[in-house]
Structure 1
């Protein structure tokens, strides 16, 4: 039951985040009070320092078995790291498997683990935190936001919220409420765009321990950002070039933005049923104007 799993996972994740935030800032507030600091920010070491310096230092001041809490805290960090690695690794393996179906899961997972371990060795060197801060700034912050906004727009307005909800109903037999349709189509992309704009406005030159990064480091960082950001226009151009050479540019764009003919369930009977539903959906879409299609995408 995918629906039940989603509700449980998202609820537990949200509750865990709230609890972790309350505990972390409660302890840091107490630490600031005991040290006489006027601001919590003055006692917090940003980045990895919060998890490996500030928080353990606060735990060491516990009067009741601080050793047990320290073990539990670092065990939690270990489990969190494993969980994050499995989640991100599974996404990469799944994408590769969608393209090359016969590729064995274990070989892909092993190759990805070896590659990730080899690349991350640099973070264990004396200058590892310096490199980690650089990669986090250029490779994750605004880059991830731009990619996420692009993904939301692609699913919500290129593939279509209506078609996405129809796929969900086809798979689990449940209709998607208007709340989720509006969130996926308008609210979530709008909020993420607002966060991106604020991030870019508030962007400050990158430093580490009040030391400016050299010019070559910024060049490397922008190259890292470019690799991530160029994925969207790069693969879009690749998809357009794959279309029939005799078709016009507009037809190429439409064909590139449409799902492949093989898109759908692997089981033959279900695939035929899904294909019939898709043809009916496309026929209805051709009979609407652009404004009607936009309204129907959210409320239809």
Structure 2
């Protein structure tokens, strides 16, 4: 069982043989680890320059995957219990998504001893899961905007007012999801905005930029400058080959097995729902080529010279660790 960004539990009772199961599990890891969303980058920016981020990354993977593995016992024990009580196959008990969280599990806890206690525990987990996810997401947005315009936002209570504005807009848009058609709208967001292809495209771009444009060796040297030692050579080859190839292969497979979006496996969405979904999906992905066009338009020289200049990383600064250490206190005060 894995909790997705929508606060829903993802589960599957199918066999482990089909390739689709492993691809779904791989794309679900993007949700579980919040990859390609900027959350980990934002949180890491508040660490000291010499913090051992390499060690913390391993701890994060072990704790996250271990928690999901432990939660799987609770998920499938409940599904097995419901399957036995109803006398049906476990695959017919419930589907993954909101129905599993808000229909099957509340019904299951009512059959347990002290149902009030278990209901309190279960819904407390769901509430805390959603709240802490929003904390990190909002912090990522506000920190990014503050870094872009520090002189305008890091003054007085402007940062708090910006956070209030973002929360108010999110609250107004969230009212659509609690209406009678809320689950209908949620399915569109779930299928396009939080779906595997969108995050896989981001992963492909990021891995290619780090491994081939910026340089895996250069990136490894930067980590050594921070923590005092280089990552394992295997990590370097993962940046260069394994991650881009796996993400690209998963992305192509998801496109090849594309099926129309359905609600409750019966109702097929109309054409305008697909237009809205692709607009939401491209609203984030289009920022990458648009930013590239903007950089090329601002450059000087021929198109090829502008492309080479924009793709060239900045020079490493000598004594970067000392300079970053001196600037850290002033940056913390601004934040």
TM bin, normalised by shorter chain, reads: 0.7 to 0.9
Structure 1's 130 and 43: CA in aligned 2 closer, same or farther, altered over 3 A?
A: same
- How far apart are 1:91 and its partner, in Å? 2.2
Structure 1's 174 and 90: CA in aligned 2 closer, same or farther, altered over 3 A?
A: farther
How far apart, CA to CA, are the structure 1 residues paired with 2:319 and 2:150?
11
- How far apart are 1:87 and its partner, in Å? 2.1
How far apart, CA to CA, are the structure 2 residues paired with 1:94 and 1:266?
26
- The match for 2:218 is 163
Structure 1's 33 and 183: CA in aligned 2 closer, same or farther, altered over 3 A?
A: farther
- The match for 2:233 is 178
How far apart, CA to CA, are the structure 1 residues paired with 2:164 and 2:317?
28
1:101 is aligned, of 128, 150, 158, to 150
How far apart, CA to CA, are the structure 2 residues paired with 1:258 and 1:106?
36
The answer on 1:24 being equivalent to 2:80 is no
- How far apart are 1:132 and its partner, in Å? 0.6
How far apart, CA to CA, are the structure 1 residues paired with 2:232 and 2:58?
14
1:240 is aligned, of 278, 296, 300, to 296
The answer on 1:220 being equivalent to 2:296 is no
1:190 is aligned, of 245, 253, 269, to 245
- How far apart are 1:212 and its partner, in Å? 1.6
Structure 1's 264 and 46: CA in aligned 2 closer, same or farther, altered over 3 A?
A: farther
- How far apart are 1:225 and its partner, in Å? 2.0
- The match for 2:65 is 14
- The match for 2:123 is 74
RMSD: 2.4
How many residues were matched structurally? 266
How far apart, CA to CA, are the structure 1 residues paired with 2:128 and 2:139?
16
**Higher relative helix content:** 1
**TM-score normalised by the chain length of structure 1:** 0.80
**1:200-245 CA-partner distances (Å, limit 9, x unpaired):** 222211111211212221221122222222122111111111211x
Gaps spanning 5+ residues in structure 1: where?
272-300
- How far apart are 1:181 and its partner, in Å? 1.4
How far apart, CA to CA, are the structure 1 residues paired with 2:147 and 2:57?
22
How far apart, CA to CA, are the structure 2 residues paired with 1:266 and 1:122?
52
- The match for 2:177 is 123
How far apart, CA to CA, are the structure 1 residues paired with 2:67 and 2:321?
41
- How far apart are 1:72 and its partner, in Å? 1.2
Structure 1's 122 and 33: CA in aligned 2 closer, same or farther, altered over 3 A?
A: same
How far apart, CA to CA, are the structure 2 residues paired with 1:87 and 1:161?
28
Q: How does 1:60-71 map to 2 (within 5 A)?
A: 60-62=110-112, 64-71=113-120
How far apart, CA to CA, are the structure 1 residues paired with 2:72 and 2:321?
48
**1:223-277 CA-partner distances (Å, limit 9, x unpaired):** 2222222122111111111211xx222221121123457x879989626xxxxxx
**1:94-128 CA-partner distances (Å, limit 9, x unpaired):** 32222112323433332322222222121011101
CA contact (8 A) 1:45 1:53 kept: no
- How far apart are 1:90 and its partner, in Å? 2.3
Other structure's SS at 1:37 match: coil
- How far apart are 1:192 and its partner, in Å? 2.0
How far apart, CA to CA, are the structure 1 residues paired with 2:179 and 2:170?
16
Gaps spanning 5+ residues in structure 2: where?
1-50, 325-335
Structure 1's 220 and 87: CA in aligned 2 closer, same or farther, altered over 3 A?
A: same
1:37 is aligned, of 72, 88, 107, to 88
How far apart, CA to CA, are the structure 2 residues paired with 1:258 and 1:95?
23
- The match for 2:96 is 46
Q: Tell which deviates more after alignment, 123-132 or 196-205.
A: 196-205
CA contact (8 A) 1:45 1:54 kept: no
